[in-house]
């Protein structure tokens, strides 16, 4: 099993729909992150969490919300999806020791 | 502000050596990372520099100069499988976050 698992791997949804992307990890890391990746823009931070009670906005949090259900689970929600949220979404974890991340396999989201 | 610059694309020949440069300006510094990302896949960790100098790991080496805000990734004996995007990322003081450059798409030709 992968250390960081994201579901679904691919999703097509309609404008205005609510959608949740899920991330679970077996690394035992406290720190979890959600990034989106767009061509030419690189990876941009949406939200991050240092433990269950600590949630922080990243640079592009508008239109997104998150939930840290347990140390191992960190979900990203789009309350009302719009086409410019079409992107590749990555969850990542870190032990904070040297800030290196372990990434999930990504979720390719298309909003039509 | 936070800024990381790296070339968008590079092309090199199988068996050759290629150097991918990265310059950065960030508020705080806690290390520089290089990741490799094949198309449609997750980034995978290549190297980490926190002190000035060269770190060597097999065919890959990474260099850091903190005073110049500069790093490079050196790939030797290029193989076709090295065709990928290479991401430069900087850790900064605000809670273990990484800021990423846009990535350098490397194409290795026969």
pLDDT confidence of residue A96? 75
**Is the pLDDT reported for residue A97 higher than 70?**
no
Tokens read off for B86: 């290479």
User: Which of A98, A99, A110 to substitute to test the interface with B, most B CBs within 10 Å?
Assistant: A99
**Is the pLDDT reported for residue A34 higher than 80?**
yes
Residue range B25-75, pLDDT digits in tens: 988 888 999 999 999 899 999 999 999 999 999 999 999 999 999 999 999
Averaged pLDDT, A86-111: 90
* A99/B101 touch (CB, cutoff 8 Å), yes or no: no
* DSSP string of B7-36, one letter each residue: -SEEEEETT--EEEEEEEE-SS---EEEEE
pLDDT confidence of residue A84? 95
Q: Is B54 on the interface with A (CB under 8 A)?
A: no
- State which residue of chain A sits closest to B7, comparing Cα positions: A40
* A42/B102 touch (CB, cutoff 8 Å), yes or no: yes
Q: Are strands A42-51 and B98-100 parallel, antiparallel or unpaired?
A: unpaired
Average pLDDT for chain A: 93
d(CA B102, CA B43): 13
């Amino acid at each position: 099993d992968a250390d960081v698992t994201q579901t679904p791997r691919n999703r097509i949804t309609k404008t205005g729909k609510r959608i949740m992307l899920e991330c679970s990890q077996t690394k035992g890391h406290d720190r979890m992150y959600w990034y989106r990746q767009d061509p030419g823009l690189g990876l941009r931070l949406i939200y991050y969490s240092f433990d269950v009670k600590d949630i922080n906005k990243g640079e592009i949090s508008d239109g997104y919300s998150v939930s840290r259900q347990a140390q191992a689970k960190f979900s990203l929600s789009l309350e009302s999806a719009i086409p410019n949220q079409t992107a590749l979404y990555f969850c990542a974890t870190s032990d904070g020791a040297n800030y290196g991340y372990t990434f999930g396999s990504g979720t390719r989201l298309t909003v039509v | 502000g936070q800024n990381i610059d790296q070339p968008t694309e590079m092309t090199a020949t199988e068996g050759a050596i290629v150097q991918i440069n990265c310059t950065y300006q960030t508020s705080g510094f806690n290390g520089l990372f290089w990741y490799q990302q094949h198309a449609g896949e997750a980034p995978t960790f290549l190297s980490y520099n926190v002190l000035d100098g060269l770190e060597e790991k097999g065919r890959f080496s990474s260099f850091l100069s903190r005073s110049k805000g500069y790093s490079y990734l050196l790939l030797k004996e290029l193989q076709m499988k090295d065709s990928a995007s290479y991401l430069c990322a900087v850790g900064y003081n605000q809670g273990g976050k990484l800021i990423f450059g846009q990535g350098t798409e490397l194409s290795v030709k026969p």
